[in-house]
Amino acid sequence: MSVAATYVRRAFKYRFYPTDEQAAELSRTFGCVRKVYNMALAARTQAWTRQERVNYNATSAMLTAWKKTEELAFLNEVSSVPLQQCLRHLQTAFSNFFAQRARYPRFKSKKKSRRSAEYTTSGFRFRDGKLTLAKMADPLDIVWSRPLPEAAKPSTVTVSQDAAGRWFVSLLCQDPGVTPLPATGSAVGVDVGLDHLLTLSTGEKITNPRHERRDRVRLALAQRRLAKKATGDGANRRKARQRVARIYARIADRRRDGLHKLTTRLVRENQTVVIEDLTVRNMVKNRGLARAISDAAWWQFRNLLEYKAAWYGREVIAVDRFFPSSRLCSTCGTLRQKMPLHVRTWTCACGARHDRDVNAAKNLKAAGLAVSVCGAGVRPQRSSPGGQAATKQKASRREP
């Protein structure tokens, strides 16, 4: 029995190589987007202290007035579409803040913030496989590493440049090619770790590739050379900073590629995947394990797993983080009072000998399936990104 395909909004990201004129135009656009965002954020912050309401329409009117001033006349040199889009993004950031889903919006930094600009349909032309942005005469030289869906019409185009100097373009399209996978009765529990990246309830252990450790010597050398460069915006310091960024980018690319392969495999093979609802944000505060936890990228693993499961008709169940999966015997249900981290194997009073990680994965699977059958609290709510600070600000997060 065939399963009907569903339309999903999917971003297709490609690398491109701009000409000198295009690179200069995009750099100006990035700067103007950052300037408008920061000015609008400052205006809304000042209005909030006065208990005044400022929304997207008000900031859009401010932008029109700013363009008419002599000091900000350079805003007219770039396309107005990315400037309007950054105001919409600011409105979304404030909506998330008032709904207690995020912290208060922060100002964009010239050196640390992501360099990007978003174009809607009125800001680009896509014909015959060629993409031309507003204020540009020639199309972008894009490396089409994979084809777009047939008859795809991008709704938005996002151009970005990473710290390593690479240029990327992301096209958001309606993809009709996502077909839910045939239902299976298989379920698996997944326990994440550091010695082994994943341990499955089937007993399989997936080795942690430790991508950052492979380039640690090269990264340390590049960082030492960067630290010895004179401070400022000199060419030598800029080149040294890019060398460090290229190493980080290579590490991130390998990590993301590995996680994509793992999550795709789990979604294809299992109808239900049970994981643990870990607070990675709090766990990385442990200075002894922060580097290893960040390299394992547990949050990214969960994020990829959840959206792929939603695409292909699978289910991801997150068990409460306080569930004693490691201390509970998966055979008889006996709960041990203590289980130090150095204990990797243990024997229960019932005679069952357990591998710590495999036992935890089995317990997670059983707990997740039990919760799913009961139909209550399948997936616990994630904590507010603000953590404790968000709780303290709860009374003050009311939109004026």
Q: Which residues are catalytic?
A: 191, 276, 357
Beta carbons of 118 and 158 less than 8 angstroms apart: yes
Beta carbons of 151 and 177 less than 8 angstroms apart: no
Q: Which residues contact 315 (CB under 8 A, 6 or more apart)?
A: 271, 272, 273, 309, 372
Closest listed residue to residue 213, CA positions, set 245, 260, 255: 255
d(CA 123, CA 107): 25
In degrees, rounded to 5, the angle at the alpha carbon of residue 242 between the alpha carbons of residues 239 and 246 is: 140
d(CA 42, CA 143): 39
Q: Which two tokens stand for residue 337?
A: 């009072």
d(CA 313, CA 183): 8
Q: Which two tokens stand for residue 28?
A: 């100006």
d(CA 173, CA 10): 6
Q: Which residues contact 273 (CB under 8 A, 6 or more apart)?
A: 187, 188, 190, 266, 267, 305, 309, 314, 315, 316, 317
What single DSSP character describes residue 162? -
Beta carbons of 343 and 356 less than 8 angstroms apart: yes
Backbone angles phi, psi at 235, to 5 degrees: -65, -40
Beta carbons of 165 and 241 less than 8 angstroms apart: no
**Class of residue 137 by CB neighbours under 10 A (exposed 0-12, middle 13-18, buried 19+):** exposed
The terminus-to-terminus CA distance of the chain in angstroms comes to 54
Q: What's the sign of the alpha-carbon dihedral 126, 131, 136, 137?
A: negative
Q: What angle, rounded to 10 degrees, do the helices at 80-98 and 20-49 form?
A: 40
